[in-house]
Structure 1
Amino acid sequence: MSKTVQPPGDGDGPGREVEPIDLKSALEERYLAYALSTIMHRALPDARDGMKPVHRRILYVMRLLRLNPEAAYRKCAKIVGDVMGNFHPHGDQAIYDALVRLAQDFSVRYPLVDGQGNFGNIDGDSPAAYRYTEARMTEVGTLLLEGITEDAVDFRPNYNEEDTEPVVLPGAFPNLLANGSSGIAVGMATNIPPHNAAEICEAALHMIKFPNATIEKLVEFVPGPDLPTGGIIVEPRANILEAYKTGRGGFRVRARWHREETGRGGYRIVVTEIPYQVQKSRLIEKIAELLIARKVPLLDDVRDESAEDVRIVLEPKSRSVDPDLLMESLFKLTDLESRQPLNMNVLSGGIVPKVMNLREVLREWLDHRRDVLVRRSQHRLANIEKRLEVLSGFLIAYLNIDEVIRIVRYEDEPKKQLMAAFELTEVQADAILNLRLRALNKLEEVEIRKEFDQLTEEKDQIERLLASEDAQWKTIAWEIGKVRDRFGKETELGRRRTSFAEAQEIDLEAVQQAMIEKEPVTVVVSDKGWMRAMKGHQIDPSTLTFKEGDTLKTAFPAHTTDKVLVFTTTGKFHTIGVDRLPGGRGHGEPIRLMVDMDNDADIVTAFVHRPGRKLLVASSAGNGFVVGESDVSANTRKGKQVMNVKMPDEARICRTIETAEGGAAPDHVAVVGENRKLLVFPLDQVPEMTRGKGVRLQRYKDGGIGDAKVFAMQEGLSWQDSSGRTFTRSRDELAEWMGVRAGAGRMVPKGFPRSGRFG
């Protein structure tokens, strides 16, 4: 496909040519150029100095303005203007935002800019306009620029080629890991959390000593991020090691909190540190929203009592609330716990985008420091050689001062005469001719000889340094050692703020329940599978209304923190939280909207889940087994297949096996068939399984199972007739119906309900 470009206007002449362009290749070319520009000049940091172009240009301009830590502050408007006008032809707001971030001690671990005025806060409030704020560099910023005038790095023309700017900063400070970086490019992103500078320096010193050091060893020095806002990292050590090995991973960071006693057994929870990059005001708003929505019933109130430091006060509902459980529920629902990603995607050598591991990042910085050292040494050596050339000329002049004066005074071309008479270079001759008369005293000659000797010695040292790689690494180790000591863990800026801990083993089920306010309800299930939860336990079933043609199947008391087990004719158990059930207004909702129930399935029964209890399940063909309630609870909408049945057989009975308060434990099973034959046998003849078809409970010639009941023989077998009267048969009275499992049984005793059920 091609597109024809026709400039406006008629006729022939310059600018009127028609040029066919292939649209596909044109788009590819332009998009590739855009992508490369974004990756290299906007989104990804340089692995050597850890900076993006905008940050590098801000620091360079501040150096040109001589805004050192001891200098006076200058208006940020001046800094932003110079950056935009000379080096960064983009929006002033983008430059100012970058400048502000470099000054925020809650955004960067080691601020590069010392700001004066309103530079925003941890609540997310915006900084003042740049006409009101002032700034200068910090000690860290000057470290990054150290040696930039000594040919330490390459310079390139700026955007309009009227000036030059550094390609990379000398970077005496390990800025990439210490301050981290984040950015999104085209098809790639980077996210590096801040680390402790002293720990990085220790790891770098170990790498100088052992170039092939393993990442496992380096992680002993750099155990994890050290975030500006503190907090506690609860990520397992194995995950942290894997993240540093691959350059990709993440860290779970939690807020730091403690319990504060208020007297009389009461307490409050005080949060003093929050996760990195979490806005405090938004965090408190979120907690307040959860309170209003009644999703954290263990919490009564939240207050922000912060001044200079963070202080968020959480008031529990009562003194009996477990603080660990309360905090676990808040960690689950709010940004009091957040995940700090690690994606060390950086520009290797300032050119190639690459995801690096910890060792590769440190190696890139160390190699850059060596390049800087060699270049600075060569630059110094060249300056020394120039100075020694001049000084040697001065010494020759002092030794022959009378002849020098004569030549200068009487010769027509003194420069040529001096060069010929004393074998001087042009530089030496010019220096002698530019000497002032006051410099011809004896004292000045002594000073020159002293300087000559000192520079000669320094030259020898530099030449030995450039000739020896070991000497270079020793010098780099000495420089890194100075940085480590300057930002050591005993200093206020260098102390580790983020600690490590293991997440407490808290019952997730308890946390889940802690998020639900406990209220009494009555669960109502209709024959056609509609469910609802009506407030309170005093519900009269006769007052319930249903859709036309529908009736009550079962109703039972529960609490909003409970779970309901629903057993279906296909042998599946479905688990539904009572808090998910619709309210009592109307007829509720079909269970099929809440779980994925089979199309041909109907509800057998529903009841409150009690972990630890056991159930007797049976099919219409008379097969059954015992299963633990914990084994039937399902965490998915599909439910859990427990009883295996094939059409026309179907699951028909589910009875709980539990001991009544003060009663004996159930030990027998009574089964009655549709043929009205009753069989009683010991419960231990029924196997306990987690899933299966089961064993034969009762044998039938025709028909199937009618009902079953688990009871304690000591208390006898009871049933109710249609009038509500209760009949009980003791062991002796049940003698003729006693047998073994899979027997046919005998006709039911007199008084047994016509419905064929125990009631």
Structure 2
Amino acid sequence: MADVTDPPNMDPNNVSEPLRRALGDRYLTYALSTIMHRALPDARDGLKPVHRRILYAMRELRLASNGGFRKSAKISGDVMGNYHPHGDAAIYDAMARLAQDFNVRYPLVDGQGNFGNIDGDNPAASRYTEARMTAVAEAMLEGLNENAVDFRDNYDGTLTEPVVLPAQFPNLLANGSSGIAVGMATNIPPHNIAELCDACIHLIKTPDVRDDTLLNYVPGPDFPTGGVIVEPQENIATAYRTGKGGFRLRCKWHVEELGRGQWQIVVTEIPYQVQKSKLIEKIAEAIQTKKIPILADVRDESAEDVRMILEPRSKNVDADVLMGMMFRSSDLEVRFSLNMNVLIDGVTPRVCSMKEVLRAFVDHRREVLQRRSVHRMEKIDHRLEVLEGFIVAFLNLDRVIDIIRYDDDPKAALMREDWGKPHVRATDEKDYVSPAPGEGELSEVQVDAILNMRLRSLRRLEELELLREQSDLMEERAGLEDLLESDDLQWDHIIGQLRETKKQFGKDYHGGARRTIFAEAGEIEDVPLEAMIEREPITIVCSQMGWIRAMTGHIDLTRDLKFKDGDGPRFIFHAETTDRLLVFGSNGRFYTLSASNLPGGRGMGEPLRLMVDLPNEAAIVGLFIHQPDRKLLVASSSGDGFIVPENDVVAQTRSGKQVLNVRGEVKALVCKPVSGDMVATVGENRKVLIFGADELPEMGRGKGVRLQKYKDGGLSDATTFTGAEGLSWLDPAGRTRTETELTEWSGKRASAGRMAPRGFPRDNKFT
């Protein structure tokens, strides 16, 4: 009878658990897999699993640096089928990057065909390209046949692959690495192998070396695309000491004279991981939008090398000023972030300093040396055993021949024979006596070697060679024993290997010399427009509908100009290309325009609303040239206002800067420069009030204070003037009238005022 307590139809493969635990366990498994097997490099060989498997598969295919090429599709297929069960496209992309000399400081793959370029073009399909290893990759793999590292089963258990590569040099820093895992990331710039070898040697000789001392050997990154590092030395030291920081990297450029005072800037090296085509597109866009007004054109004249031309708008432009603007507004200067997050011993992720990374490498090299030495000793012991058997055979050659010739089981007979007794050569099979069972002096290995020996090896000369080889191997074995017993000898041997690596891949190696240089950045100061734009006279014309243009030269302001049907003049004044213009809208916002960016005067111009974000419902109240340190009187239709410094109203963006707060039906109405010590206001009721300018507050933003009191209507106009000179206006006949006796209209701010004097304009405007 079934147990009634068991749930009915229970499936043992279905396990119930809380969703929170299930999600947590599975996500943790995924995170660990991403961190350890995909995103973070091993500190010992500086490789991620996919790169390590690519190199190992190429080794198995015997694609040596001096051998032939194989199709990339064959290589990526072998990697995918044997070691890396992921997409072939991802494997090929990883392999192609190892062949790109603009991405990898010391390429590990020698590519034949289109493997992409610095413009950002993708490599050709894997069926079209071919590849083999480079000498640098072979240095990473040297020692795999000598048990230098551990091997593990591949994903299906049919093959084995190395856990880590022996790596003759600190590849983690030499070629750098980048990756994004779950909750952590890494970004390591490339460095120079020769400098890294020197730093490792110093670290071995002085284990307690300070982090900053290593900068004497490794001053900073060495990018494959060159460039100029302008990061202060103390920041570089902090980055290498903590494992986190960044480096400011600029392009390398020079001025090329063209004759007759003309010149151009030639960029020969661009920052690391900046795509040249996109860089030029962004610079061209900046020229079109006039963000860099002193730059006229950009051209790409690159062939095998980088040659990018920057053409100034005028020969009077200063080259340093132009490049300062380029550094600020384009990717000709970038910041490369350092985050040395790596796997220590292939297991533990940790943000390490340069010293810790180099220590992990030299400790790995010591382990590799010990394992290779033990492996070599085992090979020597095996060979010495074989040589000892050969020598015994040569000393008893006649007896060995008799046994091989006459005995039914020569192998067993050779192992039974007592080679210490004298033997008599048998003349025929009757005289041959089989060895009696006993304790033989030859091992199975020795007997197999003797039986496999060729007849030509029976010469007397060969016996001398065997004795010489035995002596040499005994001497080598003694040296290996001494090496394994002495830490100092091991470190000396590693130092020798590092010096050989430095010699092989140093300045005499193709591309081995340092490419990235160091320089002082200097301060990029805000340069006035006068220094960037050629100063030329223009006439600003803005119509009633808001169409604006800049006509060349200072024209007669009274001459007739063409406008669109139904439109007419509103603002017209003389200016210069170096001027900045201020636009005041009825919404209380100020907008800033550069006179050099205005459209030319051949057509009708362009709508001002396309240049700034002035709403359609907002009217243009004022348009004038910005004069620093001047003050402005701003007021609303409700009669509120204040004085604002003109420097405080300059806007940095298209959206402008809110200065006068208005709401509802109230609109900004007045914006005039403060030109005296008195303020005059007039309302829609034609009452005039005059009071001292000192009664108005100076503010940067706000609603302001009441200027004049009204029962009905609001403010019509306001202005400032000098009390001693009197208040002026145009009478109906167009004549200027000045009134100096103003006592009748003077009063306190926010008073009602009195009716305007006879002859005051009917439109209630002072000007």
TM-score range, shorter chain: 0.7 to 0.9
Q: Which stretch shifts more, 264-273 or 322-331?
A: 322-331
1:18, distance to aligned residue in structure 2 (A)? 7.6
| Aligned-partner SS, 1:414 | helix
1:143, distance to aligned residue in structure 2 (A)? 0.3
1:168, distance to aligned residue in structure 2 (A)? 1.1
Return the match for 1:478 from 496, 515, 519.
496
Instruction: Tell me, in whole angstroms, the C-alpha distance in 2 between the residues paired with 1:515 and 1:355.
Output: 48
The letter of the residue matching 2:499 is G
Instruction: Tell me, in whole angstroms, the C-alpha distance in 1 between the residues paired with 2:128 and 2:584.
Output: 70
Instruction: Tell me, in whole angstroms, the C-alpha distance in 2 between the residues paired with 1:747 and 1:27.
Output: 81
Instruction: Tell me, in whole angstroms, the C-alpha distance in 2 between the residues paired with 1:623 and 1:629.
Output: 18
**Could you tell me which residue of structure 2 aligns to residue 101 of structure 1?**
97
Provide Cα deviations, 1:91-128, integer angstroms capped at 9, x if missing partner.
33333222222222122111112222332322333433
**Could you tell me which residue of structure 2 aligns to residue 528 of structure 1?**
none
**Could you tell me which residue of structure 2 aligns to residue 500 of structure 1?**
518
**Could you tell me which residue of structure 2 aligns to residue 445 of structure 1?**
463
**Could you tell me which residue of structure 1 aligns to residue 14 of structure 2?**
20
Instruction: Tell me, in whole angstroms, the C-alpha distance in 1 between the residues paired with 2:668 and 2:90.
Output: 68
1:209, distance to aligned residue in structure 2 (A)? 2.4
**What is the correspondence of 1:640-719 to structure 2 with a 5 Å cutoff?**
656=673, 669-670=677-678, 709=720
2:615 corresponds to 1:615:
no
Structure 1 266/569 Cα, relative in aligned 2: closer, same or farther at 3 Å? closer
Structure 1 207/628 Cα, relative in aligned 2: closer, same or farther at 3 Å? farther
Structure 1 274/614 Cα, relative in aligned 2: closer, same or farther at 3 Å? same
1:336, distance to aligned residue in structure 2 (A)? 3.3
| Aligned-partner SS, 1:474 | helix
Structure 1 486/724 Cα, relative in aligned 2: closer, same or farther at 3 Å? farther
**Could you tell me which residue of structure 2 aligns to residue 254 of structure 1?**
250
Provide Cα deviations, 1:560-594, integer angstroms capped at 9, x if missing partner.
97555578999x98554468999999997699966
| Aligned-partner SS, 2:264 | strand
Return the match for 2:474 from 427, 436, 456.
456
In the alignment, is the contact (CA less than 8 A) between 1:721 and 1:751 conserved in 2? no
Provide Cα deviations, 1:413-443, integer angstroms capped at 9, x if missing partner.
3302348677554444544555555444443
**Could you tell me which residue of structure 1 aligns to residue 735 of structure 2?**
725
**Could you tell me which residue of structure 2 aligns to residue 535 of structure 1?**
549
| Aligned-partner SS, 1:47 | coil
Return the match for 2:124 from 128, 131, 141.
128
The letter of the residue matching 1:452 is Q
Structure 1 191/521 Cα, relative in aligned 2: closer, same or farther at 3 Å? farther
In the alignment, is the contact (CA less than 8 A) between 1:76 and 1:133 conserved in 2? yes
**Could you tell me which residue of structure 2 aligns to residue 84 of structure 1?**
80
Provide Cα deviations, 1:119-140, integer angstroms capped at 9, x if missing partner.
2322333433434433221110
1:613, distance to aligned residue in structure 2 (A)? 2.6
**Could you tell me which residue of structure 2 aligns to residue 344 of structure 1?**
340
Structure 1 688/376 Cα, relative in aligned 2: closer, same or farther at 3 Å? farther
**Could you tell me which residue of structure 2 aligns to residue 7 of structure 1?**
none
Instruction: Tell me, in whole angstroms, the C-alpha distance in 2 between the residues paired with 1:401 and 1:534.
Output: 113
**Could you tell me which residue of structure 2 aligns to residue 414 of structure 1?**
414
In the alignment, is the contact (CA less than 8 A) between 1:298 and 1:326 conserved in 2? yes
Instruction: Tell me, in whole angstroms, the C-alpha distance in 2 between the residues paired with 1:510 and 1:503.
Output: 20
In the alignment, is the contact (CA less than 8 A) between 1:297 and 1:517 conserved in 2? no
In the alignment, is the contact (CA less than 8 A) between 2:539 and 2:575 conserved in 1? yes
Structure 1 359/751 Cα, relative in aligned 2: closer, same or farther at 3 Å? farther
1:372, distance to aligned residue in structure 2 (A)? 1.0
Return the match for 1:274 from 260, 270, 274.
270
1:141, distance to aligned residue in structure 2 (A)? 0.8
Provide Cα deviations, 1:199-226, integer angstroms capped at 9, x if missing partner.
2222222222232333322234333322
Structure 1 736/334 Cα, relative in aligned 2: closer, same or farther at 3 Å? closer
**What is the correspondence of 1:163-202 to structure 2 with a 5 Å cutoff?**
163-202=159-198
Instruction: Tell me, in whole angstroms, the C-alpha distance in 2 between the residues paired with 1:375 and 1:475.
Output: 14
Structure 1 210/586 Cα, relative in aligned 2: closer, same or farther at 3 Å? closer
In the alignment, is the contact (CA less than 8 A) between 1:205 and 1:477 conserved in 2? yes
2:247 corresponds to 1:222:
no
In the alignment, is the contact (CA less than 8 A) between 1:613 and 1:656 conserved in 2? no
In the alignment, is the contact (CA less than 8 A) between 1:524 and 1:556 conserved in 2? no
Return the match for 2:56 from 51, 54, 60.
60
1:181, distance to aligned residue in structure 2 (A)? 2.1
Instruction: Tell me, in whole angstroms, the C-alpha distance in 1 between the residues paired with 2:366 and 2:400.
Output: 46
Structure 1 534/385 Cα, relative in aligned 2: closer, same or farther at 3 Å? same
Alignment coverage as a number of residue pairs? 716
1:167, distance to aligned residue in structure 2 (A)? 1.2
In the alignment, is the contact (CA less than 8 A) between 1:45 and 1:346 conserved in 2? yes
Instruction: Tell me, in whole angstroms, the C-alpha distance in 1 between the residues paired with 2:446 and 2:65.
Output: 40
1:81, distance to aligned residue in structure 2 (A)? 3.2
1:604, distance to aligned residue in structure 2 (A)? 12
1:624, distance to aligned residue in structure 2 (A)? 12
| Aligned-partner SS, 1:111 | coil
Structure 1 586/709 Cα, relative in aligned 2: closer, same or farther at 3 Å? same
Instruction: Tell me, in whole angstroms, the C-alpha distance in 2 between the residues paired with 1:271 and 1:672.
Output: 59
1:67, distance to aligned residue in structure 2 (A)? 2.0
**Could you tell me which residue of structure 2 aligns to residue 598 of structure 1?**
none
Q: What is the TM-score of this pair, normalised by structure 2?
A: 0.75
In the alignment, is the contact (CA less than 8 A) between 2:541 and 2:571 conserved in 1? no
Instruction: Tell me, in whole angstroms, the C-alpha distance in 2 between the residues paired with 1:542 and 1:454.
Output: 104
1:395, distance to aligned residue in structure 2 (A)? 4.2
1:692, distance to aligned residue in structure 2 (A)? 11
In the alignment, is the contact (CA less than 8 A) between 2:539 and 2:573 conserved in 1? no
Provide Cα deviations, 1:660-690, integer angstroms capped at 9, x if missing partner.
xxxxxx8x7345688978788xx9x999989
Q: Which stretch shifts more, 397-406 or 74-83?
A: 397-406
In the alignment, is the contact (CA less than 8 A) between 2:732 and 2:759 conserved in 1? no
In the alignment, is the contact (CA less than 8 A) between 1:193 and 1:342 conserved in 2? yes
Instruction: Tell me, in whole angstroms, the C-alpha distance in 2 between the residues paired with 1:293 and 1:616.
Output: 30
In the alignment, is the contact (CA less than 8 A) between 1:296 and 1:516 conserved in 2? no
Q: What is the TM-score of this pair, normalised by structure 1?
A: 0.75
Give me the identity figure in percent: 51
| Aligned-partner SS, 2:473 | helix
1:87, distance to aligned residue in structure 2 (A)? 2.1
**Could you tell me which residue of structure 1 aligns to residue 353 of structure 2?**
357
In the alignment, is the contact (CA less than 8 A) between 2:146 and 2:376 conserved in 1? yes
Structure 1 26/603 Cα, relative in aligned 2: closer, same or farther at 3 Å? same
Structure 1 158/272 Cα, relative in aligned 2: closer, same or farther at 3 Å? same
1:373, distance to aligned residue in structure 2 (A)? 1.2
Instruction: Tell me, in whole angstroms, the C-alpha distance in 2 between the residues paired with 1:637 and 1:286.
Output: 20
Instruction: Tell me, in whole angstroms, the C-alpha distance in 2 between the residues paired with 1:687 and 1:222.
Output: 64
**Could you tell me which residue of structure 1 aligns to residue 6 of structure 2?**
none
1:176, distance to aligned residue in structure 2 (A)? 1.6
Q: Which stretch shifts more, 408-417 or 198-207?
A: 408-417
Q: Which stretch shifts more, 76-85 or 190-199?
A: 76-85
1:727, distance to aligned residue in structure 2 (A)? 5.0
**What is the correspondence of 1:27-66 to structure 2 with a 5 Å cutoff?**
27-66=23-62
In the alignment, is the contact (CA less than 8 A) between 2:317 and 2:532 conserved in 1? no
Structure 1 557/410 Cα, relative in aligned 2: closer, same or farther at 3 Å? same
Unaligned runs of 5+ in 1: 1-11, 526-530, 596-601, 658-665
**Could you tell me which residue of structure 2 aligns to residue 137 of structure 1?**
133
1:467, distance to aligned residue in structure 2 (A)? 1.9
Provide Cα deviations, 1:50-86, integer angstroms capped at 9, x if missing partner.
1122222221122222222222333333333332332
The letter of the residue matching 2:489 is A
Structure 1 546/206 Cα, relative in aligned 2: closer, same or farther at 3 Å? farther
1:474, distance to aligned residue in structure 2 (A)? 2.0
Q: Which stretch shifts more, 386-395 or 513-522?
A: 513-522
